[in-house]
Amino acid sequence: MKKKLLLSVICMSFLVSSFSQELANFRRTPIVSPEIGEKTVTFRIRAPQAKLVRIYGSWLRSFDSSLNMNKDTAGLWVLTIPKPEPELYTYNFIVDGFAVNDVNNIFLQRDGTRYLSVLLVPGELTENYFEAGQRGNLNKVWYDSPVIGKTRRMFIYTPYGYDSGTQKYPVLYLLHGGGGDEDAWVNMGRACQILDNLIEKKLAVPMICVMPNGNPGQEAAKTSLLPEATYDRRDPKFANLYIHSIVKDIIPYVEKNYRVIASPDARAVSGLSMGGGHTLSVTNEYPGTFGWILPLSMGIRDDQTDIDSKLQGIKKAGYKLYWIGCGDEDFTFEGAKKLDEALTRNGMDHTFFVSGGGHTWSNWRIYLNTFAKLLFR
C-alpha cells in the first residue's frame, strides 16, 4: 500500500512539474528575431548553456567576418546592428562553433544543400521582392524527357488571371546556375514576387515563366531524394543533352499544355552563370527559336573560334533583343566583355548592362527586375 501511495505521489509530482514547465513556456514572451527597426536590426537566440554565440551575415564585407552576441541573465543572446542597406541577406548563428539557423525566423532560403535564415530589408531596391497584391501561381510539373530518358520536374509560374481567362501568353525560360536546380530562381531569385509586382504595376507584360532543372543527371532537386545519374560532359554524346532537351522536350510540353503564344517573338531565354552558358548554347545551336536572348554572368572564351558564325546564324534568323548582364567584379566579366565585342563586331544590336558587384544573387535579382520590363513589347 505504501509503495502504491509513493508511486502515486511521484507520478503526481511529475505531472505537476511537466504542466508547470508547459505553462512557463506558454507564458514566456515570444522571441522576435530579426526585429527590424527604423535604424537598427536586432537578432536574438536563446542558448543558456552556450559559452560563445556569434552571427555571420551576408551584409558583412568578408566571408570570414562574424560578430559576437551578448548574453543576458536569462540565457538570451542579443545583438543590435545598424540597419543594412535595402537588400535580401542571409545569415546564421554560430553557437560554440556550430552553425545554426535562427529558430525564431521562419523565412529560410535553400542554397543547394544548405538552408540559411533570411533578412529582407525593405526599401526601393527590394520593393518587388515582397508579395504583390495580385499573385500568380507556381506549378511543380513532371514531364517526360525522351532526350534525357527520364521523367523530370520543372517549375512553371503563371501570372495572375491565367486560371480564369482565355488569353495566350509569351514565355520566359529562366535557367539556374551551377549547384542550383528548378527551385533556385523561386527561392533565391524571388522570381515569382518580382514578376507579380512588375505585372501588377503594369511595368511588365504578363508572361509565363518556366524554370527547368539544368542538371541532366537529376530528375528533380536533391530535396526530392530521387536517384541521380552521372554524365561526362566532355563526352560529345552528352555535351549538349540539356540544350537539346529544352528545345525538343520542354518547349513542346509547355506549348501543348499551357495557353502560350507559340512563336519565337513570344519566347525569351535567360540564365545565370551555368544557365547563362546554357542560354548562349541553346540560342547558338537553335537560332530563331528564341527572339529574346539574355545571358547573365556569362560570356565567351578565347578558344570559341566559331562564335562569329554562330552569331551570324542568330542575326540571319532574327531576334528582338540581345541583353547581357554582368557585374564589374564578376569573375565572368572578361568573358562578358568578349561577348559584347563579338556582338559589336558582327553588327548585332544589343545591350551590355554592367552593374557593380560580383557573381551574386543580389545582381541576378536586379537583372530580372530590369530586363523583365523590356520583354515582349
CATH number for the domain harbouring residue 118? 2.60.40.10
Give the structural domain span for 161.
128-371
Residues 88 and 138 in one domain: no
Residues 245 and 342 in one domain: yes
pLDDT over 50 (residue 21): no
Residues 171 and 241 in one domain: yes
Residues 250 and 184 in one domain: yes
Would you place residue 198 in the very low, low, confident or very high pLDDT band (cuts 50, 70, 90)? very high
Q: Could you give the number of structural domains in the chain? A: 2
pLDDT over 50 (residue 18): no
pLDDT at position 24, please?
45
Would you place residue 109 in the very low, low, confident or very high pLDDT band (cuts 50, 70, 90)? very high
Residues 114 and 170 in one domain: no
Q: What is the mean pLDDT of residues 86-100?
A: 97
Using the 3D structure, point to which of 106, 122, 138 is the last residue of a domain: 122
C-alpha cell at 149: 530518358
pLDDT at position 23, please?
43
Q: What is the mean pLDDT of residues 171-194?
A: 97
Answer positive or negative: Cα dihedral of 345, 351, 353, 359. Answer: negative
Q: What is the mean pLDDT of residues 111-137?
A: 95
pLDDT over 80 (residue 28): no
Helices and strands of the chain, counted as H and E runs: 9, 18
Q: What is the mean pLDDT of residues 255-269?
A: 98
pLDDT over 60 (residue 241): yes
| Within-domain flag for 29 | no
Q: What is the mean pLDDT of residues 199-212?
A: 98
Using the 3D structure, point to which of 122, 150, 172 is the last residue of a domain: 122
pLDDT at position 27, please?
53
| Within-domain flag for 100 | yes
Residues 99 and 211 in one domain: no
| Cα gap 157→278, rounded to integer Å | 20
Q: What is the 3-state secondary structure (H, E, C) of 40-105?
A: EEEEEEECCCCCCEEEEECCCCCCCCCEECEECCCCEEEEEEECCCCEEEEEEEEECCEEECCCCC
Mean pLDDT of the chain: 92
| Within-domain flag for 12 | no
pLDDT at position 9, please?
43
| Within-domain flag for 16 | no
| Within-domain flag for 105 | yes
| Within-domain flag for 346 | yes
pLDDT over 70 (residue 11): no
The tens digit of pLDDT for each residue in 333-351 reads: 999 999 999 999 999 999 9
| Within-domain flag for 30 | no
Residues 241 and 257 in one domain: yes
pLDDT at position 65, please?
85
Would you place residue 61 in the very low, low, confident or very high pLDDT band (cuts 50, 70, 90)? confident
Grid-cell match 543533352, residue found? 241
Residues 104 and 190 in one domain: no
pLDDT over 80 (residue 25): no
Residues 105 and 209 in one domain: no
- Percent of the chain surpassing pLDDT 90: 86
pLDDT over 80 (residue 365): yes
CATH number for the domain harbouring residue 325? 3.40.50.1820
User: Which secondary-structure segment (H or E) carries 283?
Assistant: helix 274-285
Residues 170 and 313 in one domain: yes
> What DSSP assignment string belongs to 118-179?
EEEE-STTTGGGSPPSS--EEEEEEEEETTTTEEEEEEEEE-TTTTT----B-EEEEE--TT
pLDDT at position 302, please?
87
| Within-domain flag for 28 | no
Would you place residue 199 in the very low, low, confident or very high pLDDT band (cuts 50, 70, 90)? very high
Residues 104 and 156 in one domain: no
pLDDT at position 231, please?
82
Using the 3D structure, point to which of 66, 92, 122 is the last residue of a domain: 122
pLDDT at position 155, please?
98
Residues 57 and 100 in one domain: yes
pLDDT at position 16, please?
42
Kindly report the CA angle at 46 between 41 and 49, in degrees rounded to 5?
A: 135
pLDDT at position 230, please?
87
The tens digit of pLDDT for each residue in 155-175 reads: 999 999 999 999 999 999 999
Q: What is the mean pLDDT of residues 312-338?
A: 98
Q: What is the mean pLDDT of residues 320-328?
A: 98
pLDDT over 80 (residue 19): no
